[in-house]
Amino acid sequence: MVFLSAILFGPFVGAFAGGVGAMIADLLLGYPHYALATLVIKACEGGLVGALNRKKVEFTGSYSWKLLTLVLGVVVGSLLALIGSAFYSGQVELSLGLGTFTLYIPQVFWIALGSIAVLSIATLGFIADPEFGWTILSVIVGGFTMVLGYFLYQRFLIYPLFNIEVVAFAEVPINVGQMIVGATIALPITKIMWRTLPHLRRRAGTTE
């Protein structure tokens, strides 16, 4: 919803939906130590996606942004593969409402997941038209901002402020996964809504 609101309605709505909406979710779900950080980080994420998506970009060819999409895909996939292999491989305990389960996750799982991320992002970049390709890049840049923001907060601030220990690197795959899932859902819905409700595309600052 952060990505979708930012793409369709611009940076201010995106920042409000991301910051305030996600902060309220943290408070309701019992994570008050993340609330203020979420307000800032998610607001930056939504605002950045909305601002970049509205930016007028002159394309002299499609290869430059396709290459950039591929590079970003490689970065995302590498983060998933490397950090997932380091922190979430082997015997892993999973706590759910029904109890605690022990799973064995091989390193090849994270390598495969990283490869899928690279292929998915690169494929989106190569099959999309240049304008929608810019929308994809806007979402990826905003998503990376969110990943970086939470990493810095968990690495340097959450322990001094709340005396809560978090392995910041171990949280990176979770936040990257959150970005990928959000983009996978928001981008196709955006395409459909732009086709069925053209005024939303004009409001977003793009043309057919």
- Report the predicted TM-score, pTM, of the whole model to 2 decimal places: 0.83
In a domain, 57, yes or no: yes
Is the separation of the CB atoms in 115 and 85 below 8 Å? no
Type of residue at 80:
L
pLDDT at position 40: 97
Give DSSP secondary structure letters for 61-85: -SHHHHHHHHHHHHHHHHHHHHHHH
CA dihedral 158, 141, 22, 160 (to 10 degrees): 10
Residue 200 binned pLDDT confidence (cut-offs 50, 70, 90): low
Q: Which structural domain, as residue segments, surrounds residue 132?
A: 2-203
- Element (H or E) spanning 28, and its range? helix 22-28
pLDDT at position 38: 97
Q: Can you give 185-202 as a three-state secondary structure string?
A: HHHHHHHHHHHHCHHHHH
pLDDT at position 50: 94
In a domain, 180, yes or no: yes
CA pair distance 192, 203, nearest whole angstrom? 15
Question: Which of 22-36, 176-190, 193-207 is predicted with the least confidence, judged by mean pLDDT?
Answer: 193-207
Task: For residues 185-191, give the mean pLDDT.
Answer: 88
In a domain, 193, yes or no: yes
Question: Which of 1-15, 72-86, 125-139 is predicted with the least confidence, judged by mean pLDDT?
Answer: 125-139
pLDDT at 206 over 70: no
In a domain, 48, yes or no: yes
pLDDT at position 46: 96
pLDDT at position 23: 96
> 53: buried, middle or exposed (CB in 10 Å: 19+, 13-18, 0-12)?
buried
The residues that bridge with 101 in the sheet, in sequence order, are 94
**Number of domains forming the structure of the chain:** 1
In a domain, 208, yes or no: no
Residue 57 binned pLDDT confidence (cut-offs 50, 70, 90): low
Q: Which two tokens stand for residue 170?
A: 């171990």
In a domain, 94, yes or no: yes
60 vs 152, higher pLDDT: 152
Type of residue at 5:
S
Task: For residues 126-144, give the mean pLDDT.
Answer: 82
In a domain, 50, yes or no: yes
Residue 162, domain CATH = 1.10.1760
pLDDT at 135 over 90: no
